[in-house]
Amino acid sequence: MLVNSKHYRSIWVKDNDKRVIQTIDQSKLPHYFEISDLKTSDDVIHAIKEMTLRGAPLIGVAASYGIYLAALEAKSETVDIVSFEKFVNTKANELKSTRPTAVNLFWGIDQTLKAISKYNTIDEKINASFNCANKLANDDIESCRKIGGFGLKIIEDIKKSKSSDIVNILTHCNAGWLACIDYGTATSPIYTAHEKGIKVHVWVEETRPRNQGASLTAWELGQTGIPHTIITDNAGGYVLQKGLVDLVIVGSDRTTCTGDVCNKIGTYKTALAAKDNDIPFYAAFPSSSIDWTLKNGLNEIPIEERDAEEVKFIQGKYKNEIVKVLLTPQDSPAKNFGFDVTPSRLVTGIITERGICEANEKSIRELFPEK
């Protein structure tokens, strides 16, 4: 994606230094565009925990690079293959404990450990982890590009059926290129439609408490010149009810094989309002976000609970500095649930790299028969 007309991915290997991984510090956006260096597996662990990098597909790829950095560290800190493997496995477990909900995290780590396990020497294992992380990054880009192509058809069909020539799309949180490696999931069909000359306008729900919609999605859309309007999360129902939305597209952090979609907190309320107003509600994600072991999203998906301070304070820019201010009575307790589950019955369809299907086990497995 372009930032000030220069192409970026959300994560990459530093030019001329394969031992450094670079990312965009999302905690500074939209005010400052800063690049962070990840030099150790602990840097990756910290970045995922503190959400300087975030979004399910990006977390999965970053964790894979985290295993690669752990393998480099293991080479300098250990003496034999047994202690090398012990070191890498300890870091893998630490990476897995950073965030519980996005299944891509566990998928990315397991893919990388599997790639390493095929080789016998330390240098071969390091190479395997590096190649695996690069492959996961490239595969994610390709998946998101394909999601854009499949989702475009939905937007084109809506355009044909409307008298006005603008298609209004509502999204929640940031399922854009920052959350992935490029293109995004929910945003990929929007970018593709825009490139094809279809007029789109995006309603961006702010997505309290971390405001990924207001700060990240709005910034991304602005960089690409796509008309958009930020609304409070509470206004989502209103715009759906007033006929101001043609289509809802969100991302997902973990979807069961039965089509229950777990996504950023607030998605469920948006899905309910979409259903009540007969507005199509799609979830777009690569298959790395599908948890093939789970059937009941509500009972089985672990929901991250984050620090209550994220609810009580809000971050913004004041006199060129990024500051946090207290919103609530100092002593009032707060709860910070990170995600919710939208049951499959509220989901019109899911958009994946293999195509679009209904949100049920039969349709999902038809797209992915090997699973």
DSSP assignment letter at 217: I
- Residue 250 · residue 283 · CB < 8 Å: yes
Smallest distance from ligand MRU to CB 283, Å = 9
Q: What letter does residue 14 receive in the DSSP assignment?
A: P
- CA-based torsion, 47, 89, 136, 132: positive or negative: positive
- Entry field: residues in the chain: 371
Scanning 84-92, 175-183, 198-206, 271-279 for contacts with ligand MRU by CB under 6 A, the matching segment is: 175-183
Structure tokens at 247: 């289509």
Residue from 129, 174, 217, 342 touching ligand MRU (CB under 6 A): that is 174
250: helix, coil or strand?
A: strand
**With respect to ligand MRU, which residue has the nearer C-beta, 43 or 73?**
43
Angle (CA) 210 141 340, round 5°: 35
Report the DSSP beta bridge partners of residue 85.
none
- Name residue 204's beta-bridge partners: 171, 230
Stretch that binds ligand MRU, among 71-79, 117-125, 170-178, 196-204 (CB under 6 A): 170-178
Annotated active-site residue 182? The verdict is no
Determine which residue in the list 52, 98, 212, 288 makes contact with ligand MRU, applying CB under 6 A: 212
Nearer to ligand MRU, 111 or 263 (CB): 263
Q: Where are the alpha helices (DSSP H) in the chain?
A: 41-50, 56-77, 81-96, 103-117, 122-160, 188-195, 212, 218-224, 236-241, 267-276, 297-300, 309-312, 361-367
**Cβ(249)–Cβ(203) under 8 Å?**
no
Residue 255 contacts ligand MRU per CB under 6 A: no
What minimum distance in Å lies between the beta carbon of 351 and ligand MRU? 12
Q: Does 221 bind ligand MRU (CB under 6 A)?
A: no
Task: Draw the binding track, 176-205, toward ligand MRU (x: CB under 6 A; -: no contact).
Answer: ---xx----x--------------------
Q: What are phi and psi of 122, to 5 degrees?
A: -60, -45
| Binding status of residue 151 toward ligand MRU by CB under 6 A | no
CB of 250 or CB of 294, closer to ligand MRU: 250
Q: Select which of 43, 182, 253, 260 is catalytic.
A: 253
Does residue 236 belong to the site contacting ligand MRU (CB under 6 A)?
no
| CA–CA dist 42, 38 (Å, integer) | 8
How many CA atoms does the CB half-sphere of 32 hold within 13 Å? 14
Residue carrying the six token digits 């979409």? 274
Q: What part of residues 49-68 is at the interface with ligand MRU (CB under 6 A)? A: 54-57
Does 175 help bind ligand MRU (rule: CB under 6 A)?
A: yes
208 lies in the binding site for ligand MRU (CB under 6 A): no
CA nearest neighbour of 204 among 178, 235, 170, 238: 170
Q: Which of residues 314-343 bind ligand MRU (CB under 6 A)?
A: 338
Q: How far apart are CA 38 and CA 17, in angstroms?
A: 12
Closest approach of Cβ 320 to ligand MRU, in Å? 25
Closest CB to ligand MRU: residue number: 251
Q: Does 348 bind ligand MRU (CB under 6 A)?
A: no
Catalytic positions are 253
Residues in the site for ligand MRU, rule: CB under 6 A?
54-57, 173-175, 179-180, 185, 212, 250-253, 263-264, 338
